[in-house]
Amino acid sequence: SEIPELQVWYTKLGKPPERFLFKQLDSLWLLDSGGSFTLELQEDELFTLTTLTSGRKGSFPSPPKSQRFPSVYEDNFNIDYPFFSEAPNFADQTGVFEYYVNMEDPGDHRFTLRQVLNQRPITWAADAFNTISVIGDYTWSNLTIKCDVYIETPEKGGVFIAGRVNKGGILIRSARGIFFWIFANGTYRVTGDL
């Protein structure tokens, strides 16, 4: 079916007073039968196009105050959240991890956290070559980590768990800590960096 019109919302990034956030503009009527149109963008502009007419600018309460990560934490990933969403308390540094329901395992490993991209994307910073998701408190020094992992590619690949890591974000590539690597061929290594 053809889409005759699109609702248009406009955001102009930058400093006030030029800045607009999610301002509704006139509808965009598609001019040709192929559904094509031309939209000219200037620097620091963002357009949201949608077929929905119920859209509006939203508002949200202030986020909760920052607090320390709990010293004891356990997660079995058996959640009421939508499937294929991010797990709370994990901060993906490189790569993407999502909740996953493993229908082949009726036991303890039915609900999992899964790496969902296996190809390196175009990156904006000098991030790590490994996929990394961080959880915990960077001030911890004496800790116990227990984790069940499954390597889906039996010929290659691996997983690592780390503690006492001193850097994150765009500096993760040069992070130091204790890295315990498990490889698909059954070998393992312990290193002080990535």
All residues at 6 or more sequence positions from 189 whose CB lies less than 8 Å from its CB, including other chains: 180, 181, 183
pLDDT at 57 over 90: no
pLDDT at 32 over 80: no
Alpha-carbon separation of residue 66 from 62, 63, 69, 137 (angstroms): 12, 9, 9, 12
- Going by their DSSP bridges, the two strands 158-163 and 132-134 should be labelled as unpaired
pLDDT at 93 over 70: yes
Average pLDDT across the chain, whole number: 84
- Least reliable range by pLDDT among 57-71, 74-88, 92-106: 74-88
pLDDT of residue 28: 86
Q: What is the pTM of this model?
A: 0.64
* Whole-number Å distance between alpha carbons of 76 and 57: 36
pLDDT at 29 over 70: yes
pLDDT of residue 11: 93
Residues in the chain: 194
In single-letter form, the type of residue at position 89 comes to N
* Whole-number Å distance between alpha carbons of 128 and 160: 13
All residues at 6 or more sequence positions from 73 whose CB lies less than 8 Å from its CB, including other chains: 89, 135, 136
pLDDT of residue 94: 82
Q: Where are the domains of the chain?
A: 5-50, 91-193
* Whole-number Å distance between alpha carbons of 27 and 7: 5
CATH superfamily of 91-193: Exo-inulinase; domain 1 (2.60.120.560)
pLDDT at 133 over 90: no
Q: Which one has a higher pLDDT value, 178 or 88?
A: 178
pLDDT of residue 1: 58
> Tell me: the pLDDT tens digits for 135-192?
888 788 888 888 888 888 777 888 999 998 888 878 888 889 999 999 988 899 999 9
pLDDT at 121 over 80: no
pLDDT of residue 8: 92
**Above pLDDT 90, what percent of the chain?**
19
